[in-house]
Structure formats: C-alpha cells, structure tokens
Structure 1
Amino acid sequence: MWLFVNRPIPEHLTNIDIHVKMPAMSDTNQKGAGTMMLANILAIIGSIILVVIIIWGLIHLLSISGGFFSSLFDGKGDTSISITAPASVNSGQSARISWKHRTSEAGSYAFIYPCTEGLRFSTPSAAQTFTTIPCGAAYTLGTATTSATVLPMLTGTSSVKTPLSVLFIPSATSSTPAEGTVTMTVLASSGTPAPSKPTTPVVTEPTKPTTPTTPTPRPSKPAAYGLGDLAATITSVSIDQYGNGTVTFNISNIGTGNSGSYYFTAQIPTAQPYTYMSPLQSSLAPGSYIVNTLRFTQAIPGQVYVIIDPSNTAAESNEVNNTDSQYISGSYPYYYNAPYQYPLY
C-alpha cells in the first residue's frame, strides 16, 4: 500500500513526492477478523433467541395466573375463601370456624349448611344465648370477618358428615361474591344422661330451717341438647289466724338441656326480716319441675320473693325468669309468744 503526501515545497523546487510503503495485511490477520465477525453475529443471534424465550415465558406465566394478576390490579380480591375447621366435633360441643379471604370491598360474611334430618347449628348471641341457624339459607354472621363459633346439635344416634360454607356477600351488587367450603363430621352423643332426682322440702321443727329431702319428681323429658332455663312461679301464699305463713312455688326447667345444680333463696315477710337460703339442689331435666312449700311463723303482710340461682352459677339460656314475687296478706295476731321463730321447710 502506498501513501502519497502532498506538502508545500520551496520555490526552487517544482514538486516533491513522498511515497511511504505500508506492509500488506497477512492472511492470519484476515482470518482473525473473520472469526471475530462470526462470533459477533452468533452473539447477536443468541441474544435475540434469549429475548424471544423470555417474552414467551412471561406470556405463558400471565396466561396461567391471569386471575391472580388481575385481582392485584383491579383491587377487588379473591373469589374463593380458605376455611379452617375441626374435622369432627361432638354434638353439643362448640366449634370455631376461621377463614382467610383477601378483599378490599365492603361486605359481610354468611354461614350456610345443607338441611339434614336431626342436625342443626346454632351461634352465640350478645345476650349469651344460642340462636338457631336455619338450614339451606345464608345466615349473616354480623361483624365477623375472620372467624365464627357454631354449636352443632344432632338428635340422631348416627354421626353425620356435612359440608359447611362461608360466603362473602359484597355490598355492591355489581361485585362478584366469594365462597369457601369445608367438611365437618358431627359425632352423635354417646347417650342421654339420666335425669337426677331433685329434692323437695319437708316440714321439721318450726324454729329452724332444714335441708329438703328427695321429692317425687313429675314425669320429665330426657335431656337432649342446649342449655337449661330455670323459672320460678309462686302458686299460692297465705297467713292463718295464728300468724303461720305458707308459700308454695314451682321451680321448672323450660330449657332444652339439663339445668345443672343450683340454689334458691326466699325473702319472706316476718316480724324479724329473714331470707331463706336453700341447700344445693339437684339438676332438673328439660320439661321437669318441682313443687316447693315454705311454712313459717310470725308471718306479717308483705311481699314474698323467690330467686333461683342468685349467684348466676348455673348456665342458662334465659336469666330473666329466675325471680317471682307475690304479696301476702291475711289475719294474724298483733304479738307473738315466741318472738324469734324462723321459717321452716
């Protein structure tokens, strides 16, 4: 290769030509350049293939989890609810059901179970009682957002396997509700407990209250399920001409379960104010009752009060009917020979 350089020349010279001879490129250098160009082309093709693979993978991933990503961007949440509950529970035993559901929408949760003969569910209310949940219909769980307590009741002798569902009902009608289902086995009770014999009072010495003895109970229904409900009812009051008072009242269990042991008190009008406190009474079966009679001296006109379970130790579905009162009046002497007599049973 030749390089021609044209430079200014002195006046006495007409022209100067400078010729520089460059060495020619060898065959080895030409082969190296060709190899480098081929490597660059292969690198570009590999990069294009890699980009195509990445784009294809992203498209495939979006097609698989489209619902997930759409829920992230639309802000509405899942359409399924994940529920956790005991696999089996005894009849009459409370069970806690919890769930997980991601949503940003306003709404409420509801509980639903299919109708099965002999099976029903209840839920505790603010008044410490249990409210029956109708089968086959969505029962709104109030302010519950993550869990609820239910009480299964099975009247049959065979266990029942039933599906339980939790629904999310959005406030907006245009929104999609969510649902989750879990299966629970309700185990039948091993047997109905035999009702215990209640006690009844007997008359002893007129100066001292005594412990009641065993009464003859009325025919009663066996305990089935739920809670007892003790109720007091005064049936008669009287005072004779000698100042002897008599109060007769019933204590009945109008609930759906055994009442459990309990006490009762009686405030009776006497010359010296007196409140009778009973010994521990035996449990009453559902539908059974006991008749009690209090006899006492130094009776005067006034109000008689009978209070069952005054310390609220017995579990009941209703505490309102534990008290009854009635006014007692009649002929009575103006003074007593024995001024410190006490009521007697």
Structure 2
Amino acid sequence: MHEMIMMMNRRRSGIKREWAVAVVGAGGEMESLEAGKQEIMRRTRVAARDLRRMLSSSSRTTIAGRECAIVINLEHIKCIITANEALFLNSRDPSLVSLLHHLHNRIILPSSSSTNILPFEFVALEACLHASCTTLENLSNILQQEAHTAFYKLTSEINILNLERVRQIKNRLLALTCRAHKVRDELERLLDNDENMIEMYLTNKLRSEDAVSNVEELEMLLGAYLVQIGGTLNKLFTVREYAEETEEYIKAMLKEKQDKLLQMAVRVGTANVIAEAFITVVGIFTINIHIDLFQKHALLPWIVGGCVASSIFLYVSAIVWYRHKHLLD
C-alpha cells in the first residue's frame, strides 16, 4: 500500500526518470540528450517490454528486429537502431566513446573496399558488433598473456601469492568465456532465424522493398563476427587447457613432495624405534656395571659396539624391506 501511494505521488508530482542518450543520425550528426521512457518509445516506436528488458540490470544478450527498429543489448551496449538514427541509452559509459567515434567515421567515411553500401541500420549494427567482439578479443589477449605469466610463476614456485593470482585468472577466464558464449549464441540464434533477419531491413521497409533476396548480405555481416567471436573462444579454450595442464602438473609436484615427506617420516620413525631399542638394551646392561663380570672382562664397550652394529643392521634391513615392498623409492 505504501509503495502504491509513493508511485501515485510520483506521478502527480510529474517526476520522471530520464536516461542520458547519445543519438547518431544517418548522416553522421551526433546529439546528446536526456530522455524518459515515453520519449524513447515515441522516437523509436519500440514496445515498452523491449525497453524495460534493455534497461533491466539482469537483461540477457539480445539482437532483435522489430517493426521499426533493431533492439540491441550486447555486453555494455544498449542501443535502439531505426532507419534514420541510433540511440545509445547508456551514453555516460566511457567505453562507448570509441564506439560512437567508430560509427561516426563509418558513416562519413564508408569503406572503399565494399562494393555495396550498407543501409544505415546495418552500419550501426556492425559498429555495435565490432565494439563488442573487439572488446572481448582484447580482453582475451590480455588474459592469455597474464595467464601464461601466472602459470609459469606458479610452476616455478608454489606459494600463496602465485596460487591467488592463478585463482583470479581462472575466475576471469570463466566470466569472459560466459560473456563470449552469450554473444556467439545470440549470433547463431539470429542466423538461424530468417524472419528476424528480414525484420532488421528497416530501410527496405520504408521503401516498400522486398528484403528476402538481400538476407545474404546480413548473413555475411553476422557470419564475419561469428567467426571473430569463435576465434576469441578458441583462445579462451586454449587458456583453459593450459590451466588444466598446469593444475595437473602442480598436483603431481605436490604428490611427489608429499610422497617424499612420507618416506622421510618412515625413515625417521624406523630410526627412532631402533634408537629407542638400542638405548633400552644398553640401559639394561649398564644397570649391572658394578658386577665382577664387567669389571674383569670390560664387556660394556663390546656390548655397546654390538648394539650399534645390530642397530645399523636392523635399520638397513628395514630400509631394504621397505623398498622390496615398494614403500620407499
């Protein structure tokens, strides 16, 4: 009840939440503005549920064609593309600066290597895919370099600091792999859905042209970035394999050290038992050191010497038996 009253008070007072929006026009013009949901919906003609999903913090990766727009929720990019402009809803994000510059340059300086000029919506889509895939690729390259360094240090010296570094590398590897998988899965889903791709030909809709014959153009665009994100996943898979091999090597090293410690414990324990037996025997004989037998024949040195020799013989025999039973190397 209290929440309903608060919502009613907000509506009455005219308080509206607005987002910083960067707008890039089809001619390369750029604009920054503050816009609420209603204004964004009116300008792009997207459904309220699409906008709500984009602005949600738990929204999934999405590239979807709608009647009058392409809705993109890709990594840090939240963008709505129409036939005439592209709206980036999180324009205060510093990582969007390079994307906006790239899109601006692509519009005013079209690629000379391309024989077909892409419509604006595909230029904007390509810029978003380029930013997302390139970011993941750069992060994977950095992670790969750091992983090799961390794993090498760990194999050289096993300590808490190196173990913590490797743990952080593995956490980053898992998170980055999940992000790359989401992008790849969305591209594959889109390529498997011709109807969704047809919906993305916004310029053709305005001109009342049939887009079915041109779907291959979009397929080539999406396929190129599918290959790029696949290469990124291959790098991450290589790092994961290297991590697993390093773990196996570390486990083998630790097992070897543990075995050596156990063998040392066996040797020391055997020596302690024999030493205690030696002390006990010598102690028994030294109790009677004042009798005539010891005084006349000086037997104590012989007894001690015999005990020492017997102890050495027993220790060597025990070690030989341990090795025969494969208890020691």
Question: If the TM-score is normalised by the length of the shorter chain, which range does it land in?
Answer: under 0.3
Q: Which has the higher helix share?
A: 2
TM-score (norm: length of structure 2): 0.22
TM-score (norm: length of structure 1): 0.21
Q: Which has the higher strand share?
A: 1
- Name which one, 1 or 2, has greater alpha-carbon Rg: 1
